[in-house]
Amino acid sequence: MMEEKKNETLLEIKDLKVSFPVHKKWLPAVDGVSLEIHPGEITGIVGESGSGKSVMSQSILRLRDHDTAVRYEGEILFEGENLLQKPLSQMRDIRGNQISVIFQDPLNSLSPVHTVGNQISEVLILHKQLSKEEAGKRSIQMLKMTGIPDPEACMKKYPFELSGGMQQRVMIAMALACEPKLLIADEPTTALDVTIQEQILHLIRDLNERLGMSVLFITHDMGVVSRICHSVKVMYLGQVVEEAQTQELFENPCHPYTQGLLACIPHLRVERGKELPMIQGSVPSLSNIPEGCHFCTRCSLADDTCRNCPPPLVEISPGHKVKCWKYADGSKEREVTAS
């Protein structure tokens, strides 16, 4: 039964392209991304700032549609229905109910003028049609589940009266109140100190195991990926450049960009006994996307093929795909790790 569920697809993104108008041209911040999320899975999206992680994840809930001109191509199928074709009024029913999102800064998502209790209750009254009393009881349960020590007292507080870690827990309680099937977590621990970060990661993992909720976890931090994600997609300039199960990606990172991200974790470099190449420079802007491989301007191994032709995404072992010319011509033995 469990196996059957695992094989179902909760979310399927097919060749998604999301473009914004820049200097009178439509430029893609997300450029042909495909992914599948199954029930109960934690899928990580990792990449530096500007790689398109947030645009991609916010597109699922169409969060940019209100305040900016945006063009979508491809499909985002949630339980088989294309969210890109839904009117925004229907998206409101899906947000917070079937798909929830938590962000880096909880204060941006929480209202400063309402108590914690009122805010969580409101979501339940709106989406689950609970009475005020039932919603209050359920809110206390949710706060308890996220490990808030005195949930009854927390209900009466305003967000600014809580610490950063507690605010993040309240946001998680609110996001999970309606038992969504998918949680999008966009850098939820980046602004927190390491001990609180660890607690929040543990909480998300625990809720994922207990409730079977799927998670799309967005981060720039490979260390965080290793602690929470079952599988990972590495994004660079709008494209997935490598994807694999987490353990496989850490044991056998193939794309020079993935290797560069892993080189930022010092203990991993020591464990591997082999220096991984550090990445120089920063992610180019949308108006400076290279013609061939998007990473060629920062790759020490790039040659003319890389500069002129976009590489295909090649499956090098079951479930492990790489978008790099070094793997596309069958010469996998070519040493990708810079010496």
Binding site residues, ligand ATP, CB under 6 A: 20, 22, 29, 47, 49-55, 68, 220, 285-286
Query: 230 CB contacts (<8 Å, ≥6 apart)?
Result: 41, 42, 43, 245, 246
Per-residue tokens: 235: 């994004």
Residue with tokens 């190449």: 277
Count the Cβ atoms, other than its own, within 10 Å of residue 328: 17
Q: Which is nearer to ligand ATP, 35 or 143 (CB)?
A: 35
Count the Cβ atoms, other than its own, within 10 Å of residue 20: 16
Q: Which is nearer to ligand ATP, 124 or 286 (CB)?
A: 286
Q: Which is nearer to ligand ATP, 141 or 285 (CB)?
A: 285
Q: Which is nearer to ligand ATP, 144 or 220 (CB)?
A: 220
Smallest distance, Å, CB 236 to ligand ATP?
A: 9
Q: Which is nearer to ligand ATP, 46 or 116 (CB)?
A: 46
Smallest distance, Å, CB 76 to ligand ATP?
A: 15
Smallest distance, Å, CB 223 to ligand ATP?
A: 16
Q: Are 47 and 57 in contact (CB under 8 A)?
A: no
Smallest distance, Å, CB 17 to ligand ATP?
A: 12
Query: 227 CB contacts (<8 Å, ≥6 apart)?
Result: 201, 205
Query: What is the full DSSP assignment across 240-261?
Result: EEEEEEHHHHHHS--SHHHHHH
Q: Which is nearer to ligand ATP, 289 or 328 (CB)?
A: 289
Smallest distance, Å, CB 301 to ligand ATP?
A: 24
Q: Which is nearer to ligand ATP, 62 or 138 (CB)?
A: 62
Please state, in angstroms and rounded to a whole number, the distance separating the CA atoms of residues 250 and 244: 9
Q: Which is nearer to ligand ATP, 119 or 297 (CB)?
A: 297
What is the side-by-side order of every strand in the sheet holding 81-82?
A: 25-37, 11-22, 71-78, 81-82
